[in-house]
Structure 1
Amino acid sequence: MDGSELMTDMLVPFLKMNGLGNDFVVFDARENEIALTPEQIAAIGSRTKGIGFDQMITVEPTNSGAYAFMRIHNRDGSEVGACGNATRCIGRLLMDEAKTSNVAILTNAGLLIAHASDSETLVSVDMGVPRLEWKQIPLAEEFVDTRAIELQIGPIDAPVLHSPSVVNVGNPHAIFWVDDIETHDLERFGPLLECHPMFPEKANISLAQIIGENEIRLKVWERGVGLTRACGTAACATGVAAARTGRTARKCTVHLPGGPLGIEWREDNDHIIMTGETEIEFEGELNLNTLTYTKTASGDAAMEPTQ
């Protein structure tokens, strides 16, 4: 040998999960810390060269009294405070592990409580109380009423999008109410609005369309991710904004490209309850040296009966 050491493969197990197509790579870091750079996270999250995900989740130990701490990174490597669909997925795993019907999960946005349902894959999560004041969202300038703020794209006399509702559900959201979400190019406008000077911490941008009594169609451009099949906090923010503006009652169904989420903004305590499906896609091992991976087991789909 020439004196150089052979690098030993560092294999770390992971789960690939999704909540209505909003997909995650999940690492259990409660016994062994997993520290990745933003560049490594982006490489793992690549849809073409990596595992591919909307968010990377690390489950970590905590002394707070919660069952575990959940750390969330977007595909671009940035860290965020909350992700509703990820909380439902992690809640499913931890409830199964603890053999309990509810579990407390600590996040950078606060304590979230996941609840089991009659179905193994259907999970509810208490997302806490929405933040509605302009400083809490936050916005770059003061607005007394955040149900509709002065912000538009397009000509002054004929804006393409305007007057969004803004809500913080662990992260900032702007919801533009439109007649038809398909007539607007969110992939074009999303990046501009996400980084608009009005949002000093950037924002998730949604197009929302009322399609029936207490029924909403939603399309989301997620901060640090891009277009996504589902975004739990966006659905929560939209449900709250719809109730605040009189478009729906406090309980509604939000239909995303990946499927429906039930949203209830409770009147007695202002907490938001979100309910939807979860799925384990597969188990795998990631080589931390090469950032390549192998699948080691199938997930929920493999357990479904054939027709």
Structure 2
Amino acid sequence: MKFTKMQGLGNDYVYVNCMEQMVEDAAETARRVSDRHFGIGSDGLILICPSDKADFEMRMYNADGSRGEMCGNGIRCVGKYVYDYGLTDKTSLSVETLGGIKHLFLEVEDGKVSLVKVDMGPAILEPEKIPVTAEGSRVVDEPLQVDGKTFRMTCVSMGNPHAVIYVDDVQGMDLEKTGPSFENHERFPNRINTEFAHVLDRNTVEMRVWERGSGETLACGTGACAVAVASILNGYTEDQVTVRLLGGDLKIEWDREANKVYMTGPAEVVFDGEIRL
């Protein structure tokens, strides 16, 4: 299987051009290639496929083989791949995902994509659509009991579910210990991606993320969008937010009137290769 390893702020995936080759068992392939000791090493597998609804389809699998609805860092890399590898000459693209059709705007320098802005679509706030077990029309600054402690959460779906937890010390948290307790909490029927966030100022928030099915990753694009939306809803920030992740910064803007979230950030090719499965 020919592949390209790519990363967006350290959130790395193995990409396969399914316009030219097929992947028979994507879930098992994702588990094998993601292994950082016996495989290629990645946070998951992303297949770039033809689509009858958009320019391309992105099929995303987590490191444990589970299917993911959307990946913000992953879709930026899809935009770079299809342009840099000659699958399109467009700088405005539509990409089909399980989380809906997303629109990408590519910034090109010297014939290569340098930055990708993604229209991530609406911030979904209704509990049943996220999903999260809750009363009322939104889950904003609600208490959540985890491992005998009370946390405050704000829940957002960006095509996949997120719970944003505000803490005083992001870097001091033991996510390997606490992350699974949030991910598998009974209030989240489909499990949850959890962002631990700390507001630095009116335009800047730092975060770490425990991703459903993958564990802690260096960055999560949909998670950064969820953190920005949650911070705005709680009155902590303005409508344009720089989100600082372990792998770097993302620029997030929420147009509340249109309910559209825009994410801008880099995408990089790590290497091309071939693996026998």
Fold match by TM threshold 0.5: yes
- Give the Cα–Cα distance (whole angstroms) in 1 for the partners of residues 114 and 29 of structure 2: 30
| Partner residue in 1 for 2:66 | 78
| Partner residue in 1 for 2:240 | 251
Pairing partner for 1:273 from 245, 253, 262 = 262
| Partner residue in 1 for 2:95 | 105
- Give the Cα–Cα distance (whole angstroms) in 2 for the partners of residues 150 and 106 of structure 1: 35
Shift in alpha-carbon separation, 1:141–1:246, aligned structure 2, 3 A: closer
1:90 maps to 2:78? yes
Pairing partner for 1:215 from 204, 209, 216 = 204
- What is the CA RMSD across the aligned residues, in angstroms? 1.4
- Give the Cα–Cα distance (whole angstroms) in 2 for the partners of residues 95 and 47 of structure 1: 28
Pairing partner for 2:250 from 253, 257, 261 = 261
Q: Which has the larger radius of gyration?
A: 1
Per-residue Cα deviation, 1:105-151 (whole angstroms, up to 9, x for no partner): 00111100111125532111111001100101101343433112231
1:238 maps to 2:219? no
- The 3-state SS of whatever aligns with 2:28 is helix
Pairing partner for 1:130 from 106, 119, 123 = 123
- 8 Å contact 1:94–1:103 — kept in the other structure? no
Pairing partner for 2:145 from 147, 152, 163 = 152
Gaps of at least 5 residues in structure 1 are 1-11, 289-307
- Give the Cα–Cα distance (whole angstroms) in 1 for the partners of residues 19 and 138 of structure 2: 43
**Which structure has the highest strand share of the two?**
2
- Give the Cα–Cα distance (whole angstroms) in 2 for the partners of residues 13 and 32 of structure 1: 8
Per-residue Cα deviation, 1:248-307 (whole angstroms, up to 9, x for no partner): 11110000000000000113411111011111000001212xxxxxxxxxxxxxxxxxxx
| Partner residue in 2 for 1:299 | none
- 8 Å contact 2:184–2:192 — kept in the other structure? yes
Pairing partner for 1:46 from 35, 47, 72 = 35
- Give the Cα–Cα distance (whole angstroms) in 1 for the partners of residues 216 and 261 of structure 2: 24
Pairing partner for 1:23 from 5, 9, 12 = 12
Residue identity over aligned pairs, in percent, reads 38
Per-residue Cα deviation, 1:55-75 (whole angstroms, up to 9, x for no partner): 2000111111x1111100000
1:200 maps to 2:189? yes
Shift in alpha-carbon separation, 1:86–1:37, aligned structure 2, 3 A: closer
- 8 Å contact 1:135–1:142 — kept in the other structure? no
- 8 Å contact 2:198–2:207 — kept in the other structure? yes
- Give the Cα–Cα distance (whole angstroms) in 1 for the partners of residues 40 and 234 of structure 2: 40
Query: 1:190, CA displacement in angstroms?
Result: 0.3
* Paired residues, number: 272
1:67 maps to 2:55? yes
Query: 1:154, CA displacement in angstroms?
Result: 4.8
TM-score for the superposition, normalised by structure 1: 0.85
- 8 Å contact 2:72–2:221 — kept in the other structure? yes
- 8 Å contact 2:26–2:61 — kept in the other structure? no
- Give the Cα–Cα distance (whole angstroms) in 2 for the partners of residues 252 and 44 of structure 1: 34
Query: 1:38, CA displacement in angstroms?
Result: 2.9
Query: 1:37, CA displacement in angstroms?
Result: 5.1
- Give the Cα–Cα distance (whole angstroms) in 1 for the partners of residues 26 and 83 of structure 2: 30
- 8 Å contact 2:195–2:223 — kept in the other structure? yes
Counterpart of 2:40, as a letter, is I
